[in-house]
Amino acid sequence: MKSLLVGVVLSASILAVGWGVSNYYAKQLPGLSQECDAAAKQALIKTAEEKRAQAEAKAKAEAKREENDPALQKLFKELGLDKPPQAAPGSHSATSAEKESFENRCWSIDLNSSGVQHARAALSITENRSVEAMNVAEIVALTILGLFALPYLWYFLLRRLREVADAVRGRTE
């Protein structure tokens, strides 16, 4: 009976430690998630800025081509325009509303930014450690409980078998 009590106490202690370790890792998850979202936001803003720069370069090249094309110059003069209509500068840049919509995109967008990949890896590893700590604690606690309960269970089984054997023989105590 004492071994069963020791097994229960040890198992409860192991479960408590496992729960504590699991909570320790779980408390790190919100911070890591924010880091991952910030890295994704920066990568998306950088991508949007690169696209804007490409669009501006393309627009400049198109405008230069149009300025040198005599047929287009003639058409503009017929329409009463000095030069082709231009898009407003910065019209392709990411607006503040778009920048805000980049929040919580850590997992939803495939980004090749190394910062995002490191943040995703840290978040995933910590999440796995949180779950794994509790799973390992449960397995170890159940194993220890079983090992310490085994002598009591063996004694209990033998006592019941003796009672059944006595009942079959017709003996009563």
Task: Tell me how crowded residue 130 is: count the other CB atoms within 10 A of its CB.
Answer: 19
C-alpha–C-alpha distance, residues 99 and 89, integer Å: 18
CB 69 within 8 A of CB 82: no
In 3D space, the residue among 122, 114, 94, 113 whose CA is nearest the CA of residue 29 turns out to be 122
C-alpha 135: how far from its chain's center? 19
Residue 103's pLDDT is: 42
Residues 101-156 have pLDDT tens digits of 444 455 555 555 566 677 777 777 888 888 888 888 889 888 888 888 888 888 88
Residue 8's pLDDT is: 85
Does residue 36 carry a pLDDT above 70? yes
**Of 24-28, 48-52, 62-66, the least confident:** 62-66
CB 72 within 8 A of CB 136: no
Residue 101's pLDDT is: 46
Residues 69-116 have pLDDT tens digits of 677 666 666 666 665 555 555 444 444 544 444 444 555 555 555 666
